[in-house]
């Protein structure tokens, strides 16, 4: 099976069709084969499109098991409130925002489970927090793919405007600043855990930098906007003290510190806004030891998180309103 295509836009369309086929029950092996070919053969003639092709190909190779909407262990349909209308069940579910409580409510019986589908999407699709990582976008795309109408219920999302980033002055200086400012006593075990967290952070930054510095965030945000026709509000915020981007080992290691608290503010050490060259699609402006910008010869226009968000909205023509939330 071959889908030769030198046009990235057409390649993206093919990947989308493959994803649709998978959800319709087409052979997974065929879909995965096409997805791999699309990802391998699509060119980068159009800026950023390879990221869209990549995530669509990933979705195409994903076996979408509808476990979220069809729990295996539900009680018998005849048990509990047999005459309660589905509309009332759904309205009750709309007011249950705790995930564990909502899950238990859906396990009452199969009718409850089905009646709560819409409420589930509205409760846990709306206000989705998206971090500037490829996997964060991928997880949300997978959530939307479980049910065709899911995306129509999403009216607002939250974008975190700080990604994994090395401190310009290094880990030692950043930790020393935190310890001195907080009047913290550090022991030898703390040093071992911070070193391990720093190492994990460095690896996570190296893995995530290509996504942020080649326009991947802008590309996938634009693709996401096309999947959310009823999106009304895009809230943009910085990270709160103690918050961490999911998907790396640092948060677990930091919890082992003798001075750990849930609001321990390691954000200046591990996170920050990104900046890259939109022409060369890499970092071309660097910081020296004094914090001054040093630009490479022929450096092109620079983009940050806000620029990427604005560009994605402009490119898609989406009418969602952007709200910048104050820092906590």
User: pLDDT, tens digit, for every residue of 56-87?
Assistant: 888 877 654 443 445 445 455 545 566 778 88
**18-22, 115-119, 252-256: which has the highest mean pLDDT?**
252-256
The predicted model gives 259-273 an average pLDDT of 96
| Phi, psi dihedral angles at 303 (to 5 degrees) | -135, 145
Predicted local distance difference test score (pLDDT) of residue 24: 42
- Give me the residue spans of the domains in the chain: 159-324
Residue at token pair 């846990």: 124
Q: Which of 75-84, 113-122, 171-180 has the lowest mean pLDDT?
A: 75-84
Predicted local distance difference test score (pLDDT) of residue 1: 38
Predicted local distance difference test score (pLDDT) of residue 79: 53
Predicted local distance difference test score (pLDDT) of residue 148: 57
Q: How confident is the model at residue 88 (pLDDT cuts 50, 70, 90)?
A: confident
Predicted local distance difference test score (pLDDT) of residue 235: 98
The predicted model gives 270-276 an average pLDDT of 97
| Phi, psi dihedral angles at 295 (to 5 degrees) | -95, 140
Geometric angle at alpha carbon 289, from 271 and 212, rounded to 5°: 35
Distances (CA, A) of 247 to 242, 244, 252, 266, 302: 15, 9, 11, 16, 27
CA nearest 273: which of 161, 131, 137?
Answer: 161
The predicted model gives 198-220 an average pLDDT of 97
Predicted local distance difference test score (pLDDT) of residue 18: 38
Predicted local distance difference test score (pLDDT) of residue 149: 61
Report whether pLDDT(174) > 80: yes
On the 0-12 / 13-18 / 19+ scale of CB atoms within 10 A, 269 is buried
Q: How confident is the model at residue 189 (pLDDT cuts 50, 70, 90)?
A: very high
Percent of the chain surpassing pLDDT 90: 53
Q: Could you tell me the two tokens for 187?
A: 């022991």
- Contact (Cβ atoms closer than 8 angstroms) between residue 151 and residue 227: yes
Predicted local distance difference test score (pLDDT) of residue 298: 93
Predicted local distance difference test score (pLDDT) of residue 48: 45
Q: Which of 69-83, 114-128, 138-152, 219-233 has the lowest mean pLDDT?
A: 69-83
The predicted model gives 2-25 an average pLDDT of 43
Q: How confident is the model at residue 115 (pLDDT cuts 50, 70, 90)?
A: confident
Q: From CA 51, how far away is CA 220, in angstroms rounded? A: 7
288 versus 281: which is more confidently predicted?
A: 281
Report whether pLDDT(276) > 50: yes
Q: From CA 49, how far away is CA 46, in angstroms rounded? A: 6
Q: From CA 217, how far away is CA 108, in angstroms rounded? A: 40
């Amino acid at each position: 099976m071959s889908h030769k295509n030198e046009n990235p836009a057409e390649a993206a369309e093919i990947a989308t069709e493959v994803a649709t086929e998978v959800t319709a029950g087409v052979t997974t092996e065929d879909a995965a084969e096409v997805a791999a070919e699309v990802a391998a053969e699509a060119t980068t003639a159009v800026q950023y499109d390879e990221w869209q092709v990549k995530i669509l190909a990933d979705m195409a190779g994903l076996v979408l098991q509808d476990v979220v909407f069809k729990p295996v262990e539900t009680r018998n349909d005849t048990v509990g409130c047999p005459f309660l209308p589905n509309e009332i069940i759904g309205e009750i579910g709309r007011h249950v925002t705790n995930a564990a409580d909502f899950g238990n409510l859906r396990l009452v019986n199969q009718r409850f489970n089905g009646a709560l589908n819409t409420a589930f999407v509205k409760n846990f699709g709306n206000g989705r927090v998206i971090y500037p990582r490829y996997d964060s976008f991928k997880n949300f795309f997978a959530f939307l793919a479980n049910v065709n109408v899911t995306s129509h219920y999403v009216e607002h999302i939250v974008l975190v405007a700080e990604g994994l980033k090395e401190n310009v002055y290094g880990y030692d200086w950043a930790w020393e600043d935190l310890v001195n400012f907080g009047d913290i006593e550090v022991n030898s075990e703390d040093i071992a855990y911070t070193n391990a967290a720093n190492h994990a952070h460095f690896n996570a930054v190296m893995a995530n930098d290509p996504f942020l510095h080649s326009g991947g965030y802008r590309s996938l945000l634009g693709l996401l906007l096309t999947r959310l026709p009823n999106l009304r509000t895009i809230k943009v915020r910085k990270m709160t003290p103690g918050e961490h981007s999911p998907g790396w080992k640092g948060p677990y290691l930091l919890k082992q510190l003798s001075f750990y608290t849930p609001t321990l503010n390691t954000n200046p050490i591990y996170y920050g806004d990104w900046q890259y060259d939109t022409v060369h699609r890499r970092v071309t402006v660097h910081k020296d030891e004094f914090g001054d910008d040093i630009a490479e010869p022929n450096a092109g226009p620079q983009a940050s998180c806000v620029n990427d968000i604005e560009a994605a909205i402009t490119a898609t023509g989406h009418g969602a309103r952007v709200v910048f939330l104050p820092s906590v």
